[in-house]
Structure 1
Amino acid sequence: MGVLHAPVFGQTTPFTPKHADILRGGYGPYRENNDLLYYHLDIRVDPERKFVTGKNTIQFRMLAEGQRIQLELYPTMHIDRIVKGHTALKYTRDGGTVFVDFPTMLRKGRKYSIDFYYSGEPKEQGRFGCFTFKKDKEGKPWITTACESNGASVWWPNKDQWRDEVKSMMISVAVPNGLIDVSNGRFAGKRDLGDGYTQWNWHVHYPINNYDVALNIGNYQHFSDKYKKLTLDYYALPEDLAKAKKQFTQVKGMLEAFEHYFGQYPFEKDGYKLIEVPYAGMEHQSAVAYGNGFENGYLGRDWTGVGVSPRFDFIIIHESGHEWFGNSITAADRSDMWIHEGWTTYMEGLYVEYWWGEADAIKYLNGLKPKVKGKQPIVMPRGVNAEPDEDQYFKGALFINTLRSIVDDDQKWFTLIHDFYQHFKYQNIMTEDVIAYFNQQTGMDLTPIFNQYLRHTAIPTLELKFDESAGTVAYRWKADETNFAMPVRVGDLNHWQVIRATTDWQTMKTPLSKKNFGVATDLYYVNVSKS
């Protein structure tokens, strides 16, 4: 496939996908012909050999007749066999893609189950290594996973995409005696296998995306608490236990704030877990990974540089926020990942607002502005495994804060975002779903505004031309979207007035000079040009 420009989405940066990205990113006929129902991932992890063996039982319902389905497993891993009952199935590998063929036609509406046996040495890759064999300070094995970018198929076979999720899952992990595994879901018991290994079992009661599935193997110390009816389970290494008991008290305040804005923690049957890991952190569903050094801020830094972030532990707040956006609500394609990151970054601001007030929240969010690079649109080309850059976090959150100012009624705004989450929870959605919901609920046509911020690199500029002798100012938006129109507060910062600016020039009377005429750029993420 050639260079994609995706003009319908305002994509201006050329993007050339690789063959592997087309296979992994596309939702082709052998993915769309089936609906995932259930996984049982049953593996054994050998720390000394840095080796895994196991199988994934995959249950699915056919949505159309066919004899082939598409799964994924990295080519560095070995396929031992794939069977349906006692029947060995043929398969074809194309890089990380595995096409599984059945000897007879699979019927629409029928449920089927296969066992995918595999083994190998997962290779460390990506920012957090994806699957890493490390040692703790005492020299004991410390094995973790974090595979959002590289894909879960680095270490286990699955339908490695975002659109389709299993409805529930069982995770069984055998590790050497003396170690424990902490995975997603509710602890379902352990079993001594009699060969020096113990199997740890976890039952996931909710839909889960594949990259959230996690192993955390080590000499963990466990302590617990409760928030209302929700169980809180914490895991730390022995030398960090005291620090964890102090730092993890922030979880209850996080839950209180986010439940206030969006509703009940979405995975109550599975509980909430916070687990020490040797990397910064990751939003693994009901098993949040934590590696922020038991300090406030982010890795010891004032994250937004405005004096607010040192009041709380960034990783606890941000990664836990993903339980609502990213885990409960999941983007159906990596291209729309801002639904995870933009919303969760905005949730950081809501956490600040809940505990310290709106002024500090606005200060915190505006501290994100220097982080925006503006090199590519937030929404990337679809179906080619294209991941947005970090603007999805910062520009995404600033855009959502701008939407609040457009609604210009906090009671309506907080009802809107609460109901937005409740409407889409446990679903996989796209940007178009978000836009349609906001348009319907507000009665406004917000589509050009969404498109400007998400599908173009530039933010809108409010152009102002002053005629001080006449006491007037002319104004218009300079934007990529031809129908762009957005209200904005202007004038005296103590007595704002709202103007309904469009891309056409309009004129208003003002007693203010060019120097004293203000724009509420802390409430709207815009540029201003005065002449």
Structure 2
Amino acid sequence: MRNAALAALLLMGIGSLTANTAVPDAAAQPRPRFVRADTLRGTNTPERRWWDATFYDLHVRVNVKDSTISGYNGISYRVLQPSQVMQIDLQQPMIVDSVLQDQQRVTMRRDTNTIFATLTSPQKTGDVKTVTVYYHGRPAAAKNPPWDGGFIWRKDKSGNAFVSTANQGIGASLWWPLKDLTADEVDSQRVAITVPDPMVNVSNGRLISTKKDGNGNTTFEYFVKEPINAYGISVNAGTYAPYSETYKGESGDLTMDFWPRAENLEVAKSQFAQAKTMMACFENWFGP
């Protein structure tokens, strides 16, 4: 009986302590402030709904000296229903220089992080057409990557420039113009990134060409032949020590290209050894 009474007193004490140290009412906590830019970014607006993005042809020049980029994106799309006003997303402070269709400039207006382009060519249901957006600027820098999105301008352990992107949360429109709506993935994409020599850029897909411009820059062209999330497209420009291996797949040999940074080569070879095991697992569960 005495033990039961002590237990009751102890529980009462704990309850009192809990009551005195309760978490403040959630209603009293500051809440995120949603603005028009959030609505335009997250909504399948009428200016998005009428067209289906099918292919992005992205070309970007990275200027390490002043932390700026410039380039263009050819946006190919299928017309789902006739309309003339298209929403294209590109976050400030990036600047859209022009929007072209059929080699003609179209009128545009900016609303926060969105460009509304008024097309003049007929947009007939089922047609596949392209608009090209030229742009430039200094993209927002990531304050605490990868948790805070943005461009990352750093140096590696050897003092070489290293440039990368982190934009899964903030969106691909942080640094390139597109239909920044997760519900609409293109069927394929080209990613051509130009960087100053001797930097090498690694992006998504297969490397299909490298071209020097004669002015100390090289363009690395990659191609993604399957649907891909736009926020996954990335820049990873630096100094690498690439190597390749061959995986004996169920349907034949597959080449595997690895791009570790030079100072991490030996550690990377040990870590990446598991890639073949992962490939075997994927083949087993999902097919060759």
Q: Which residue of 1 aligns with 2:151?
A: 131
Q: Which residue of 2 aligns with 1:24?
A: 41
Q: Which residue of 1 aligns with 2:227?
A: 207
Q: Which residue of 2 aligns with 1:169?
A: 189
Structure-1 separation of matches of 2:121 and 2:213: 37
Which of 259, 262, 267 aligns to 1:243? It is 267
Structure-1 separation of matches of 2:80 and 2:126: 6
Q: Which residue of 1 aligns with 2:163?
A: 143
* Within-5 A mapping of 1:503-522: none
Aligned Cα root-mean-square deviation (Å): 1.9
Structure-2 separation of matches of 1:146 and 1:49: 19
CA shift for structure 1 position 255:
2.6
Larger relative CO (CA 8 A, sep 6+): 1 or 2? 2
* Within-5 A mapping of 1:249-398: 249-264=273-288
Structure-2 separation of matches of 1:68 and 1:43: 25
Secondary structure of the 1:221 match is: coil
User: Is residue 56–residue 188 contact of structure 2 (8 Å, CA) maintained in 1?
Assistant: yes
Secondary structure of the 2:242 match is: strand
Q: Which residue of 1 aligns with 2:16?
A: none
CA shift for structure 1 position 240:
0.9
CA shift for structure 1 position 214:
1.1
Structure-1 separation of matches of 2:61 and 2:163: 12
Secondary structure of the 1:249 match is: helix
User: Is residue 243–residue 258 contact of structure 2 (8 Å, CA) maintained in 1?
Assistant: yes
- Say yes or no: does 1:181 pair with 2:201: yes
Q: Deviations over 1:153-190 (max 9, x none)?
A: 01100110111111111111111121111111111110
Secondary structure of the 1:52 match is: strand
Q: Deviations over 1:173-228 (max 9, x none)?
A: 11112111111111111011111111111111111111011111001110111222
Q: Which residue of 2 aligns with 1:121?
A: 138
Identity of aligned residues (%): 34
How high is the TM-score relative to the length of structure 2? Answer: 0.83
User: Is residue 158–residue 263 contact of structure 2 (8 Å, CA) maintained in 1?
Assistant: no
What number of residue pairs does the alignment pair up?
253
Secondary structure of the 1:66 match is: coil
Which of 77, 98, 106 aligns to 2:115? It is 98
- Say yes or no: does 1:155 pair with 2:175: yes
Structure-1 separation of matches of 2:65 and 2:159: 12
How high is the TM-score relative to the length of structure 1? Answer: 0.46
Question: Cα–Cα, structure 1 residues 16 and 140, in superposed 2: closer, same or farther, change >3 Å?
Answer: closer
CA shift for structure 1 position 142:
0.5
CA shift for structure 1 position 104:
4.2
Secondary structure of the 2:141 match is: coil
CA shift for structure 1 position 32:
1.1
Structure-1 separation of matches of 2:33 and 2:165: 29
Q: What letter corresponds to residue 178 of structure 1 in structure 2?
A: P
Structure-2 separation of matches of 1:124 and 1:140: 19
Which of 243, 246, 249 aligns to 1:223? It is 243
Q: What letter corresponds to residue 55 of structure 1 in structure 2?
A: Y
CA shift for structure 1 position 103:
2.3
Structure-1 separation of matches of 2:136 and 2:34: 29
Structure-2 separation of matches of 1:73 and 1:226: 40
Segments of structure 2 that go 5 or more residues without pairing to the other structure are: 1-25
Structure-2 separation of matches of 1:221 and 1:152: 28
- Say yes or no: does 1:52 pair with 2:76: no
Q: Deviations over 1:435-484 (max 9, x none)?
A: xxxxxxxxxxxxxxxxxxxxxxxxxxxxxxxxxxxxxxxxxxxxxxxxxx
Bigger share in strand? 2
- Say yes or no: does 1:33 pair with 2:57: no
Bigger share in helix? 1
Secondary structure of the 2:84 match is: strand
